[in-house]
Every structure is written in structure tokens, then in C-alpha cells.
Amino acid sequence: MSGQPVRNLLRSCVPRASFVRKYNGVSGVAPGVKDKNEHPNVLITGSLGQLGTGLAKVMRQRYGRNNVIMSDILKPSKEILESGPYVFADILDFKKLQELIVNYNIDWIIHFSALLSAIGENNVPLAMRVNIEGLHNVLELAKQYRLKIFVPSTIGAFGPDSPRDPTPDLCIQRPRTIYGVSKVHAELMGEYYYHKFGMDFRSLRFPGIISADTNPGGGTTDYAVKIFHDALKTGHFKCYLREDTRLPMMFIDDCLRSVVEFMETPDSKLKMRTYNVTAMSFTPGEIVEEVRKHVPELKVTYEIDGRQDIADTWPKRFDDSNARADWGWKHTLDLPGMCKAMFDFLAPSEKPEQRIKM
């Protein structure tokens, strides 16, 4: 994510004293053994997904360009290659991950590799391998090398038996997708490793994330990204969810900031290892109304598909009061603010009436 949004995000991050002083190698600490004030070396798995590119930029500006190692199994763009260290890493290859952790002297793992909701339902065997076997690899390595580890969870970790409006942090979790099942497993395994081995496991349950220049990858909430591109390209938005389907959502700047602030929070402040975080909750009907303030002529047709069955099992609104109380989480953009940010990024100069390209 380039340009204004990242700078806004950094300004809103409150620098933590513990990471303000860049390690200058004169702390008297033996080479290779880090003193407590040094920036962390961070490995991001699945870094070419919706969140990884933006998080790498934010963390590199905060911890140092060469302190954040992006990794994935895909070939990166020239821009990514020029932005900082990028390595091939298949999270199913335990030895390769171990080699990366040692060679780059990693302190934190941000584990983004996963198949998300609708994608996972179309390839359950692969989702089980990536989301479960891959998780086991990073958990074991985080334990072995005493790393701090972040694994995102999701609104999809709840199911139709959970309270849905709002959904609290602690309630029954019987998700109906392999994505949700694997994320509940991740939460439980991470908390087990925390209690059993003292590993610093942290997880945030994210709502649908809306990003301007990275593609979402799960399918169910992604209509809320597609509407902006359709409005600007064709003026016709085909929505695969019912008009009244309410889902929790968040703009990507808030999401990336939540990861940084959560990871920098002193462990003593955390009462839980896994927290809900959210910013807004809206229906397709509500976002259409907001988008039409920017693209008045937007045409909308509803062509409901199987993703409706997934959305119908997910929270309608998220209760994130524990995150706000325990470590000061707060969102910045609501529905109008998010729509403005998206159009400012995707069509910065035009007036609303000029935004449709027919």
C-alpha cells in the first residue's frame, strides 16, 4: 500500500519507548544477542496476501527496512523485491522455516499464510494442510526459538450457535467452514502453547478487511472491496450477498495498526491471548447507499451465491470492548470515512459525477 494511507497510519501509531531507540551495536551486548531495546527482526509468512504487503511497509518504516523479511511461495513484483528482503518460504517445509529463523535471527513471526473462507471450502484438503499443518510448524518453531508469534483469527471463527449481534470474545465457537475450524484450532493451540510453554502467542479476530491496492483473498466479505472497483470501471455492481446481510468490517489502515500496537503492547497488559477487533458493521444495502454519494449513477444487481450460506453463520456485529479496555484498541474509520479513503485512493482527482468510466 503506497502513498498517503501508510503515512497516516504511522502518524497514528504511538511509538513505544521500547522500540524507539534503534539498536546501534554499542550496548555491550554480544553480537547476535539482542539487547532489550533493539527493533525486532520480523518474518511475515504469506506476505503477498491482502495484509502482508501493507504490514511489511508499516513495520519496515518502524523497525528498519532490513528487519522485516517478507516470505511467500509466489514470485513477488519488482516493487516488492526492491522494497526489502523477500524469501521463498513454504510453511509446510519445517526445515526451511527453521533455516530462515536462524539465518535472519528472527524475533517475531507474523503468520498470515492461510486459505480463507470461500477459497478453503473449494479445497478442504489444502486448507487443512496450510491452515493446520502449517500452523503446527510455526508454533513449534516459535516455541523452539522463543519467538513472539501473531496468528490472525477471524469473525469466521464463530458459527450460527454463537451470539451474533453482538459476538463477544468468549462464547461458543462452532464454525461451519474449514477456515473457521482451523482458526479456532489456531486460537486454542496458541493459548495452549502460552500456558504450557510460556510462548508469547497473540491473535486478533479480524472482520472483513477493506483494502485499496491489495486484493482480498477469502471471498465472503470481499464484495465490500469489489463494489469500489465495479463502481469506477463499469458503474454496475453485482453483489453475491443479500442486501440485508450485516457483517463486521474494517479498513486496512486500522487493521495494520492494530497488529503493530497489539504486538508492541507489554505482555502484562494482556488479559487474553485472543481478542476481537472491529471498526464498523454494515450491509450491502448500506454500503451501496454510501458509495452512491460518490458515484450517483451506480447500478446494483443481487446475484446470491453459496457465500450467502457462509455469511449467514457469521457475526453481524463484533464486541471488541476487551481490546479497547486492555490495550487501548480504537478504530479511526467508519463507513463514510472508509468509502472516502477508498475513492481518494482509487480515483483521487475526479469529482463524483466524473468517477464512472463507461
Active site residue ranges: 179
Report in angstroms how near the CB of residue 118 gets to ligand VAH at its nearest. 6
Taking the least distance from each CB to ligand VAH, the nearer of 54 and 156 is 156
Find residue 205's DSSP bridge partners: 153, 276
Amino acid of residue 305: D
Whole-Å CA distances, 2 to 54, 314, 338, 343, 345: 8, 32, 17, 15, 10
| Strand-strand pairing, 280-282 and 247-251 | antiparallel
Of 82-121, which residues contact ligand VAH (CB under 6 A)?
A: 116-117
Whole-Å CA distances, 229 to 125, 168, 188, 298: 32, 33, 37, 11
Q: Which DSSP string corresponds to 15-34?
A: --HHHHSPP-S-SSPPTTS-
Selected range binding ligand VAH among 22-30, 39-47, 136-144, 216-224, rule: CB under 6 A? 216-224
Binding of residue 319 to ligand VAH (CB under 6 A):
no
Whole-Å CA distances, 247 to 7, 131, 206, 231, 244: 28, 23, 11, 21, 10
Binding of residue 156 to ligand VAH (CB under 6 A):
yes
Report in angstroms how near the CB of residue 35 gets to ligand VAH at its nearest. 37
Binding of residue 258 to ligand VAH (CB under 6 A):
no
Of 171-210, which residues contact ligand VAH (CB under 6 A)?
A: 207-208
Taking the least distance from each CB to ligand VAH, the nearer of 5 and 156 is 156
Binding of residue 222 to ligand VAH (CB under 6 A):
yes
The grid coordinates of residue 324 equal 479497547
Report in angstroms how near the CB of residue 216 gets to ligand VAH at its nearest. 5
Selected range binding ligand VAH among 71-79, 91-99, 148-156, 336-344, rule: CB under 6 A? 148-156
Selected range binding ligand VAH among 85-93, 212-220, 238-246, 268-276, rule: CB under 6 A? 212-220
Selected range binding ligand VAH among 36-44, 127-135, 211-219, 234-242, rule: CB under 6 A? 211-219
Q: Which DSSP string corresponds to 73-94?
A: SSPPPHHHHHHS-EEE--TT-H
CA angle in degrees (0–180, nearest 5) for 244-245-251: 115
Report in angstroms how near the CB of residue 315 gets to ligand VAH at its nearest. 9
Q: What whole-number distance in Å separates Cα of residue 189 and Cα of residue 168?
A: 20
* Footprint on this chain of ligand VAH (rule: CB under 6 A): 116-117, 154-156, 207-208, 216, 218-222
